[in-house]
Structure 1
Amino acid sequence: MNSTRLSPTLAFAGIAAALVTTLSACGSDSEPEASSATSSTADPADLYSVESNMPAQPAPSAAATTCPTVASTGGTPEWTLGGATGNVAVTGSTDTSAPDVKVGTPFSVTETQVQTLQAGDGPVVSPTATVSVCYMGVNGRDGSIFDSSYQRGAPEQFPLTGVVPGFQKAIAGQKVGSTVAVAMTSADGYADGQPSAGILPGDTLVFAIKILDAAG
Structure 2
Amino acid sequence: MNSSRTLGVLLASSASLVLVLSGCSSDADTTSAGTSTSGASSSAAAAAAESCPTAEPESGAAAEWNLDGDTGSIAVTGSTDDAAPLVTVEAPFSVAETQVQTLQAGDGPVVARDATVSVCYMGVNGRDGSTFDSSYQRGAPVEFPLDGVVAGFQKAIAGQTVGSTIGVAVTSADGYPNGQPRAGIQQGDSLIFAIKVLSVS
Q: TM-score, normalised by structure 1?
A: 0.76
Contact 1:90 1:100 in 2 (8 A): yes
Gaps of 5+ in 2: 24-28
1: distance between equivalents of 2:4 and 2:125?
15
Match 1:125 to one of 90, 111, 123: 111
Q: Which has the higher strand share?
A: 1
Match 1:199 to one of 182, 185, 193: 185
> Shift in Å at residue 75 of structure 1?
1.0
> Shift in Å at residue 41 of structure 1?
1.9
Amino acid at match of 1:214: V
Cα-to-partner distance string for 1:69-105 (whole Å, 9 max, x where unaligned): 1221311100000000000000000110100000000
Q: Does residue 1:47 correspond to 2:17, yes or no? A: yes
Q: Does residue 1:165 correspond to 2:151, yes or no? A: yes
Match 1:179 to one of 150, 165, 176: 165
Match 1:83 to one of 37, 44, 69: 69
Contact 1:47 1:196 in 2 (8 A): no
Q: Does residue 1:68 correspond to 2:53, yes or no? A: yes
Contact 2:4 2:131 in 1 (8 A): no
Larger CA Rg, structure 1 vs 2: 1
Amino acid at match of 1:42: T
Count matched residues: 174
Q: TM-score, normalised by structure 2?
A: 0.81
> Shift in Å at residue 40 of structure 1?
6.6
Superposition RMSD in Å: 2.0
Give structure 1 regions of 4+ aligned residues with deviation exceeding 4 angstroms: none
In percent, how many aligned pairs have the same letter?
66
Contact 1:71 1:93 in 2 (8 A): no
